[in-house]
Amino acid sequence: MAERSFVEEVKKLRLGAGDIFSGEGILAVTKGLLEAGVAYVAGYQGAPISHLMDVLADAQDILAEQGIRFENSASEATAAATLAASVNYPLRGAVTFKATVGTNVASDALANLASGGVTGGALIIVGEDYGEGSSIMQERSHAFAMKSQIWLLDPRPNLPSIVDAVKQGFDLSEASNTPVMLQLRIRACHVHGQFVASDNRPPKFTLKDAMESPQRDVSRIVLPPASFVHEQEKVRDRWPAAVRFIEERRLNEFFAEDADDIGVIVQGGSYNTLVRALERLGLADVYGNSKVPLYVMNVAYPVIDSEVLRFCKGKRAVLLVEEGQPNFIEQNLAAILRQAGVDAALHGKDMLPMAGEYTAAVLLQGARTFFERYGRLAPLPVPAPVRKIIPLIEVANIGVDAAPEPSRPLEESVHARPPGFCTGCPERPIFSAIKLVERELGPHHISADIGCHLFSILPPFHLGNTTMGYGLGAAGAAALNVQAGKRAISMMGDGGFWHNGLTSGIANAVFNRSDNLTIVVDNNYTSATGGQDILSSTALNPTRSTGHAIERAVRGVGVEWVRTIRRTYDVAGMRDALRDALTTKQKGPKVLIAQSECMLNKQRREKPLVRKAVAEGKRVVREKFGVDADTCTGDHSCIRLSGCPSLSIKPNPDPLRTDPVATVLDSCVGCGNCGDVSHAAVLCPSFYKAQVVSNPSGWDRLRERVRAAVIGWLQRGDAKRRERYAF
C-alpha cells in the first residue's frame, strides 16, 4: 500500500482526444505513455518518480484493458534489463527510476541495451533528484547518456512539452534503434499544469505475440564480434539517424532567432527559470517573447552541430545555461564552434556557477553579467557604502514607532530542520537501543544504508559512519573484517535488503566469514520511497506475491545467528539483543531483524477503521503519552534519546523554574517508545500513558465508579489537609 492513493487521479488516464488533462507532471507522463501505445512499463520507486509507479499500481485495470504489463522491478538494474523485450520485437517499453542513483544501479543493463540497440521504442524516464531538497549525491545523468550513447531528452517543464517528449522519445528511439532517456527535474515531476489529451492507443504488437512467436538475432547480442560492430553502428548509423530525426521533427526550438547578435543557449529544463530572469531584466515578456535570441535544447544529447552553428553564426557571443558539472555541453559547443571556425564568444561556467542548482536568483545574476558585458544592460549602480553614524545624543523614545528593533541577526533565530523519524516510527527505538548499548560497550563503527533509517546520522542520534548506496550497508563494512575487540554494525532496510542487500551484504558476509552484525529494519514497506510493497510485506496485495520472511532468506544463504525482534518498541529487549549480538562468542555474521510496521502506513490504514468503530459504538482504547510538568526537571534526556516530533517542550509552569519542560503533543500515536526509553535508560518518572476507552463496557463503567469513589475520597482528604496550609 503506497503512501498516497491515486485512485481519483487514475481516472484522468481514461481521458480521450480533446479533453483537458489537469494534474501533476509525473501523472501526465503516465498518460503520455498510454497515448504512445506502450506495451510494458517497469521501474523502481524513489523521489521524484515514486508517484509514477504508484499511479501505475493503482491503474492496473486500465493497463490490463490496454494489454499493458506493469512490473514492480526488484531494482533499477531489473527495470533496465526489462527493456530487453524491445530488442527483438516492435514493442514499446518504458522504465523509470530516480537518477543518478538509479542510473548507477542500472548502468550494466543500460550499456548492454544501448550496445545491441533496440527495435521497439525504449524509453528510460529518470527523475533527476538534483538541487534543493535532494537526498542523493549531486551528479548528472548526462554522463550515462554520453558513455553508452543513449539520447537524452530534457524538455521544457510544462505539461504539453513533457507529454510531447514522451511520444517523440519513442519515435526517436525507433528511428535510431537507440534507447532514449527522458530526464525530468524534481520540480517538473511535481508541477501542476494542463494539456490537451489524445486517445489512448493499445499496442499493435503485444507481449503475447512475442512470447508465442519468439525471434532471435545473434547480431544484437553483446558478444564478439557483434560487440565491435555495435560500436561502429552507433557512430555510423544510429547517431546520424538520430540527428536527422531531431532536425526534421524540430525537437529543439529557436526563439527570436535574429533579434540580436548575442544569444542564449539553454537546456529545456532550465527554460522557464531563464525566461523569468530575462523578464525581470526587461529582455522578455511574461509569455516568453524575448528580445534575445534563444536556442532551447530539448535534446541535451546528442548536440546537433548544424543547429548550434546556425544559431551562433554571425553572433558576437552566446551564453550557455547548463546546470551541473562537468560542463559537457559547453565543451562540446566549444569544439563545434572551433572546428567550424565560428568566432562567436562562448560563455557559460565563466558567468554562471560551476556547480549547484541554477535557481532563479543564480540565473538572474548570470544573465545580468552577460548582458552587462555586451552592453544590453546598464550596470547596476553600486550602493553607497553604509557609514556607521554615532548619534550625538540619545533621542528619547516619543512613542511614534514603539516597535522594538531586532537585536540579534536572523541567522541565530532560524534553525535548520533536518528530516527525522515520523511520530511513532518503529525505527526510532532501534537507534535508542544502539545508544543505550553504546553506553555499555562504547562506540562502534556503524555502516549506514539508504532509507529512512539513515536519519540516524542526524540529531538527536548522531549514529552512522558511512553510507555507500542502497542495500550496501553490510557491504560497506566488508573490509572491517579482522580480529578486533569490537564488531562493526551495519544497517539495512527491508527495501535495500531485497534490492541487493541479501547478496551484496548478507551472502557476501557469509562467504567471506564476517563476524559483524547487520541489523535489517523490516517495516513492511519501502517506506522512504512512499510505502510501496516488497516481498516481505505482510499486506495482502492482489497483484503481487508478499509475505516472504526475511529471516528465511537470511537463513537460506547460510547465516546461523539470526534473531527477529517482533516489536521494536521494546527498547530493553532490543538493547539486550544488540548486546548479545555484539558480545556472543559464536563466529560468523549476525543478523538482527527488527520488525514493526511503518507507523505512517499503519496510521493511514487504521485511523479510519478506529473512527468507524467508535462511531459504531464499539469499545475502542486509545493510548496517549504525557509528561507530568511538575516532576519534569527540563533536562530533555528523553528527547535526546528519541527525537519524536510529538515529544516537544513547553514553558515551565513552575514559578520557580525556568528551563522548559518536556511535553507530548496531541499528534502522539501512543507507540510506547517514550515509556520504554525512560524505563530502559532509567530516565525519570515523569512519563505516563493515558488509556482512554471510548464506548466503555458495563464492567469498565462499574470499575471506574468504584475507583472514583475510593480514590476520590482519599484525594479529597489529602487536598483538604493541604488546603489548611495554603495561602
Partner 1 sequence: MNPTQPIKIAILAMGGEGGGVLADWIVDLGEHNGYIAQTTSVPGVAQRTGATIYYVELYPEARANADGGRPVLALMPLPGDVDVVLASELMEAGRAVQRGLVTQDRTTLVASTHRVYSIAEKSAMGDGRVDSTQLVEHARKAAKHFIRFDMAQAAEQSGSVISAVLFGALAGAGVLPFSRAQFEATVERGGVGVKPSLKAFGGAFERVQSGSEQDAPPTPLPARAAPAPRHPQVRALVERVQRDFPASSQAILLEGVRRLIDYQDTAYAGTFLDRMREIHALRVDDGGRLAQNTARHLALWMSYEDTARVAALKTRTTRFDRVRDEAGVQSGQVMAINEYMHPRLQEICETLPGALGRWLTNSGAPRRLVERFTRKGRVVQTSSIHGFLLLRGVAAAARWRRSTTRFAEENQLIEHWLERIAQTAAINPALALEVAECQRLVKGYSDTHERGLRNYGLVMGAAQRAGSAMAPATLRELRDAALADEHGHKLRDMLARYALA
| Interactions with partner 1, residue window 205-264 (CB under 8 A) | none
Q: State the cell numbers at 327.
A: 560542463
User: Of 32, 157, 505, 531, which one interacts with partner 1 (CB under 8 A)?
Assistant: 157
Q: Are 493 and 474 in contact (CB under 8 A)?
A: no
Q: Of residues 660-699, which lie at the interface with partner 1 (CB under 8 A)?
A: 660, 664, 666, 674-675, 678-685, 687-696
Burial 393-431 (b: 16+ CB within 10 A, else e): eeeeeeeeeeeeeeeeeeeeeeeeeeebbbbbbbbbbbb
Q: What angle do CA 395, 400, 405 make, to 5 degrees?
A: 70
Our CB check for partner 1 shows the closer of 277 and 521 to be 277
Distance CA 255, CA 274 (A): 13
- Burial class from Cβ neighbours inside 10 Å (0-12, 13-18, 19+) for residue 241 reads middle
**Position 639 contacts partner 1 (CB under 8 A):** yes
Q: Of residues 504-533, which lie at the interface with partner 1 (CB under 8 A)?
A: 528
Our CB check for partner 1 shows the closer of 343 and 659 to be 659
Our CB check for partner 1 shows the closer of 110 and 671 to be 671
Minimum Å distance from CB 208 to partner 1? 39
Our CB check for partner 1 shows the closer of 80 and 565 to be 565
User: Of 396, 405, 483, 545, which one interacts with partner 1 (CB under 8 A)?
Assistant: 405
Distance CA 574, CA 706 (A): 39
User: Of 29, 364, 502, 593, which one interacts with partner 1 (CB under 8 A)?
Assistant: 364
| Peptide linkage before 460 cis (omega within 30 of 0) | yes
Residue 460 vs residues 4, 420, 456, 490: alpha-carbon distances, Å: 28, 9, 8, 19
Q: Of residues 460-479, which lie at the interface with partner 1 (CB under 8 A)?
A: 460
Choose among 406, 398, 452, 444: nearest CA to 425: 452
Our CB check for partner 1 shows the closer of 216 and 417 to be 417
Distance CA 609, CA 126 (A): 37
User: Of 234, 643, 671, 673, which one interacts with partner 1 (CB under 8 A)?
Assistant: 643
Handedness of CA 698, 699, 701, 706 (dihedral sign): positive
Q: Are 103 and 152 in contact (CB under 8 A)?
A: no
Q: What angle do CA 692, 695, 698 make, to 5 degrees?
A: 105
CB atoms within 10 A of CB 724: 6
User: Of 79, 87, 243, 275, which one interacts with partner 1 (CB under 8 A)?
Assistant: 275
**Position 426 contacts partner 1 (CB under 8 A):** no
Minimum Å distance from CB 47 to partner 1? 5
HSE-up (13 A, CA, CB side) for residue 20: 3
User: Of 14, 249, 280, 349, which one interacts with partner 1 (CB under 8 A)?
Assistant: 280
Q: Of residues 83-142, which lie at the interface with partner 1 (CB under 8 A)?
A: 129, 131-135
**Position 288 contacts partner 1 (CB under 8 A):** yes
User: Of 213, 397, 407, 545, which one interacts with partner 1 (CB under 8 A)?
Assistant: 407
**Position 706 contacts partner 1 (CB under 8 A):** yes
Q: State the cell numbers at 240.
A: 546520424
Distance CA 727, CA 719 (A): 14
Q: Of residues 562-601, which lie at the interface with partner 1 (CB under 8 A)?
A: 572
Q: Of residues 18-47, which lie at the interface with partner 1 (CB under 8 A)?
A: 22, 47
Kindly indicate which of the ranges 67-75, 335-343, 368-376, 646-654 contains the residues binding partner 1, using the contact rule CB under 8 A.
646-654
User: Of 61, 248, 412, 616, which one interacts with partner 1 (CB under 8 A)?
Assistant: 412
**Position 624 contacts partner 1 (CB under 8 A):** yes
User: Of 397, 408, 483, 545, which one interacts with partner 1 (CB under 8 A)?
Assistant: 408
State the residue for C-alpha cell 546528442: 302
Minimum Å distance from CB 408 to partner 1? 6
SS3 string, 565-615, reads ECCCCCHHHHHHHHHHHHHCCCCCCEEEEEECCCHHHHHHHHHHHHHHHHH
Question: DSSP states of 196-255 as a string?
Answer: E-------SS-HHHHHHS----GGGSSSTTHHHHHHHHIIIIIHHHHHHHHHHHT-SEEE
Q: Of residues 45-84, which lie at the interface with partner 1 (CB under 8 A)?
A: 47-48
**Position 419 contacts partner 1 (CB under 8 A):** yes
**Position 656 contacts partner 1 (CB under 8 A):** yes
Checking phi first, is residue 131 left (phi over 0); if not, alpha (psi -120 to 50) or beta?
Answer: left
Minimum Å distance from CB 708 to partner 1? 9
Distance CA 99, CA 106 (A): 10
**Position 401 contacts partner 1 (CB under 8 A):** no
**Position 190 contacts partner 1 (CB under 8 A):** yes
Q: Of residues 322-361, which lie at the interface with partner 1 (CB under 8 A)?
A: 359-361
Minimum Å distance from CB 133 to partner 1? 3
User: Of 224, 399, 485, 655, which one interacts with partner 1 (CB under 8 A)?
Assistant: 655
Our CB check for partner 1 shows the closer of 437 and 509 to be 437
Our CB check for partner 1 shows the closer of 135 and 339 to be 135
Handedness of CA 652, 653, 657, 663 (dihedral sign): negative
Minimum Å distance from CB 125 to partner 1? 18
Minimum Å distance from CB 6 to partner 1? 14
Q: Are 589 and 559 in contact (CB under 8 A)?
A: yes
Minimum Å distance from CB 159 to partner 1? 9
